[in-house]
Amino acid sequence: MNKIEQTLSIIKPDAVERNLTENIKNMFEKNNLVIKDQKKIHITKDEAADFYKVHQSKPFYNDLCNYLSSGPIVVMILEGENAISENRKLMGATDPKKADKNTIRKTYGISIDKNSVHGSDSIENAEKEIKFFFKD
Ligand code: CMP
């Protein structure tokens, strides 16, 4: 069933640093994901820890929080039909080495940590993550 959804996307420090923001935004738009709101921010490690708290028991949590707070990121609200799953398809597998051709992570990702983009994985998390960055 097709329904209009919103999802949160983050262009991570590795991609912002390599000036890939416009290329990645173009990939969203070509895939019918409309950017409804966006901002470039640099979050603290505490904010990253709060954002990623669902991963707090994972061995990679500390590195993940250091990484997301290591430089500017672009956070966006994407909207479209089945936006959550469409964005995840477009991003590709978490590990760029395992991602399909033409996905964002296959095209631009460097490693499982520096995988260029984050996207919400469920309706519930999309709502939470959008609220986290766009409170108003
Ligand atoms: P993201 O979609 O932002 O969600 C959590 C992030 O943890 C993930 O992308 C990866 O960049 C990072 N990560 C680091 N190591 C792992 C791992 N072993 N499994 C899953 N995610 C990992």
pLDDT in tens, 43-97: 999 999 999 999 999 999 999 999 999 999 999 999 999 999 999 999 999 999 9
Which runs of E-coded beta strand occur in the chain?
A: 4-11, 34-41, 73-81, 117-119
How many domains does one find in the chain?
1
Nearest-CA residue for ligand 1 atom 12 is: 113
The whole-angstrom separation of Cα 105 and Cα 1 is 27
31 CB near ligand 1 (under 6 Å): no
Q: Name the residue with higher pLDDT: 2 or 7.
A: 7
Q: Three-class SS string for 83-103?
A: HHHHHHHHHCCCCHHHCCCCC
**Catalytic one among 13, 91, 118, 133?**
118
> Residue 118 catalytic?
yes
Q: How does strand 117-119 pair with strand 4-11?
A: antiparallel
Q: Are 33 and 83 in contact (CB under 8 A)?
A: yes
Q: Residue 136 has what pLDDT?
A: 64
112 CB near ligand 1 (under 6 Å): yes
Mutating to test ligand 1, I would choose from 88, 112, 114, 117 the residue with most ligand atoms within 8 A of its C-beta, which is 112
Q: What is the pLDDT of residues 14-55, one digit of tens each?
A: 999 999 999 999 999 999 999 999 999 999 999 999 999 999
Domain that holds residue 31: 4-133
Mutating to test ligand 1, I would choose from 54, 55, 94 the residue with most ligand atoms within 8 A of its C-beta, which is 94
0.85 cut: is pTM over it? yes
If DSSP codes are grouped into helix, strand and coil, which group holds residue 115? Answer: coil
**CATH number, position 85:** 3.30.70.141
